[in-house]
Structure 1
Amino acid sequence: MTTVDSSTGLAPIAERAAAPASLPSITAGSLTWRPAVPDDAPALLALRNTIAETDDEPYRESIEEITELFEAPWRRFDTDSLVGVDGEGRLRAYGTVESMPGDTRTVRAFLFGGVHPQVRGQGIGRELFAWQVARGRQVLAASGKDLPARLAVMAEDDGPASKARLYERAGFTPRRFYSDLRRDLRDLVAAPLPDVTLDGSLRLVPFAPELDDAARLAHNDAFRDHWGSEPQTAEQWTSSRSAFVPAWSFLVLDDAPDVDALLADADTDAETAASLRAGEPLVVGYQMADRFDEDFAVRGYSFGYTALLGTRRAYRGRKAAVAALAAGMRAMAADGMEFACLDVDTANPSGAHGMYAGLGYEFTHGSRMLSIEL
């Protein structure tokens, strides 16, 4: 008999996940399968970039990005990854399952993988994806988090039709759509960036390491009403920083916050409340930027990438994010970048689309998230 939690209306995650007792075997393609290990990083990079080139994806990866995947302590490559190796020792396919330690509203398992174009059409991808889905269900069941749950994959809108069919046949449904945008920075005289004057005690500052965790708290607050977003732990926040450019990243501080009002606000999270009581700086807006040199040739231009942008909910409407973004774009332009790029959820609740359009951003391509909701 299924027991339903009266507060959530959900059965226990162990039941909803319907995790199999054992994982399916992969026999297609005559490959040898084993978990990925750190020494695979160069071969995995070559495989992933070959797949990206074949599928006309608008990005490439660096060895630093692949190495960082193995360095994150919450990733369990020994149980949550497979690589398929041919008789000559070459990596021909890979699949991973990733869950995040900070998930508190929806527990998620993301599935990433691909097959080398030279061995496609043999059923490898179908069997590998079945393994990933089964392992993803096991990961969700083992989380012990009786929350809404999600198995998810990402796909480019113009990606291979075969991949889309694979996902949909496995029960994955498009849930969210994302737009990649760019803004020309080559002539800021003809197309100037806004001069933003912040009101009251708000102050724009360059990113500084001592403000990094305060920026994380601002991000967790800014995105708590965004579909699919979950709080980031300190460990998550500081991982995968090989592409991070501090000189292109800016923060907005409130030098005189109304501490009593914020502490009385039921939406103020426990970590922010502790920070306020300790008198620590309050970041209310932020723009965190990356640089992906490997993508320049693929796209045909150089660019700076806004990886994270947001404003605390209590400070929306005060132009904190616009000020941080404009400062970042000026810094990118000063370093010779031809464009500023970012991507945005098409259903973003903060009105970001209008802000980006007003700043001169234009659509370049789209992607989507497909999921099974549990």
Structure 2
Amino acid sequence: MTDAAVAFPDRSAGLSFRALTPADVDAWLDLIVRMAEADRPIWFERREDLEEVFASTKNDPERNSLIGFDDTGTPRAFGRVTMNEGSSKAYTWGGVDPAWRRRGIGTAVYQWQEARARQRGNGLILRTYAEENNEGHNALLKRAGNEIVRYWTEMTRPLTEPIPEAALDRGLAFADFSDQISEQIRLAHNEAFQDHWGSEPRDQESWRFTVSHPDFRPDWSLAVVDTGSGEVAGYHIASLDPNYAKTHGYSEGYTELLGVRNQWRGRGIAPAILAEAMRRYKSAGIDHAGLQVDTENPSGAHGLYEALGYGPTHRTFTYDKALAD
């Protein structure tokens, strides 16, 4: 497919569009904050996430992003299309300033994203995530011919409740996260999730961003090591969103990634990891432990989390649209 630029939406909605540049980060972040104040999402980007768009070697913003400005030079909408090398899926990200909604801007941005995705590959799936409580976003995606293909549940657990007793088997031990073990954890994650729905391998660049992000908490992140072989059997990557308490009323230590490699499954590693994470959160003065679960995951993870005291708070939908050759 050609990689020439896709024409930006015209000014029929009152905005002038162009590609995002590093000089836009401050104004772009202000737009995201305005959207978050109205939509109250589970999570929203911070400056480092926006800066990473221009630092990454993938998904060149010049061809894979747009931002729309009103006549005062204030950004009112943006969109991006991302895709991992060799993947059959492209992803859309974006939004519209709450004061500029219901003017067809979101539809125009999505149509541009679809055109760009078609340009990047034959027969791709165009994938978008939408939170259940964002009615406008869900309506737009359905009008554009998308279908819900997966449901994700955010779960939380107050740390005022007793932390479960869950110990590791003999021959297994906790190891704190460190630079020395980071690559082993990345490889363990790719192996543990190779058959999980929608999962794609984490390359070294994306992993480096994950474990250097300001929200990442190495003191709450760990591995379970087989003491005989020295191999990583399971792992836990944790984060703390500084905006979460302002939006939801409590602080939450969050499980970003949790996995156990096949040959060590069935030995209670996951509950032992989560109990250890809870102890670390609580000792740091955190109010809740949180995570996300694939509602249709056949591994029984949802039941495990409920047994450990987690309860549902929000849902997110995965929408897909098949782009014909």
Q: Above 0.5 in TM-score?
A: yes
Are residues 321 and 236 of structure 1, via their aligned partners in 2, closer, same or farther at CA, if it must alter by over 3 Å? same
Q: What is the letter of the counterpart of residue 197 of structure 1?
A: L
Amino acid at match of 1:108: K
- Does 2:38 align with 1:54? yes
Q: Aligned equivalents of 2:91 and 2:157: distance in 1?
A: 30
2:196 to 223, 226, 229: 226
Let me know the Cα RMSD of the aligned residues: 2.1
Counterparts in 2 of 1:272-283, with a 5 A limit? 281-283=230-232
1:302 to 208, 230, 251: 251
1:70-106 per-position Cα deviation (integer Å, ceiling 9, x unaligned): 32221311100000011211111000001123x5xx5
Contact 1:250 1:327 in 2 (8 A): no
| 1:233/1:27 CA distance change after superposition, 3 Å | same
1:34 aligns with 2:18: yes
Structural mapping, 1:1-374, within 5 Å: 22-23=6-7, 25-101=9-85, 106-141=87-122, 149-160=124-135, 162-187=136-161, 191-199=162-170, 201-240=171-210, 241-257=213-229, 281-373=230-322
| CA apart distance, 1:24 | 6.0
Describe the shift of the 1:192–1:121 C-alpha distance in structure 2 as closer, same or farther (beyond 3 A).
closer
- Distance in structure 2 (CA, Å) of the matches to 1:337 and 1:228: 31
Equivalent position amino acid for 1:99 in 2: M
Consecutive unaligned residues of structure 2, counting only runs of 5 or more, are none
Q: Is the 8 A contact 2:234 2:270 kept in 1?
A: yes
CA distance in 2, matches of 1:71, 1:216: 21
Distance 1:53 1:31, change over 3 A: same
Contact 2:8 2:18 in 1 (8 A): no
2 CA distance for matches of 1:318 and 1:51? 44
Equivalence for 1:272: none
Q: Does the CA-based 8 Å contact 1:26-1:128 persist in structure 2? A: no
2:40 and 2:247 in contact (8 A); partners too: no
1:198–1:236 Cα change, 3 Å: same
TM-fit CA distance, 1:164: 1.7
**Partners of 1:232 and 1:59 in 2: how far apart?**
21
Q: Is the 8 A contact 2:92 2:113 kept in 1?
A: yes
Does the 8 Å contact 1:172/1:371 carry over to 2? yes
Tell me by how many angstroms 1:21 deviates: 9.3
Partners in 1 of 2:21 and 2:101 — Cα distance?
24
- Sequence identity of aligned pairs in percent? 36
Distance 1:64 1:24 in 2: 26
Asked whether the equivalents of residues 281 and 289 of structure 2 are also in contact (C-alpha less than 8 Å), the reply is yes
Q: Separation in 1 of the partners of 2:220 and 2:27?
A: 31
Q: Are residues 21 and 40 of structure 1, via their aligned partners in 2, closer, same or farther at CA, if it must alter by over 3 Å? A: closer
Aligned AA for 2:146?
F
Letter in 1 for 2:302: H
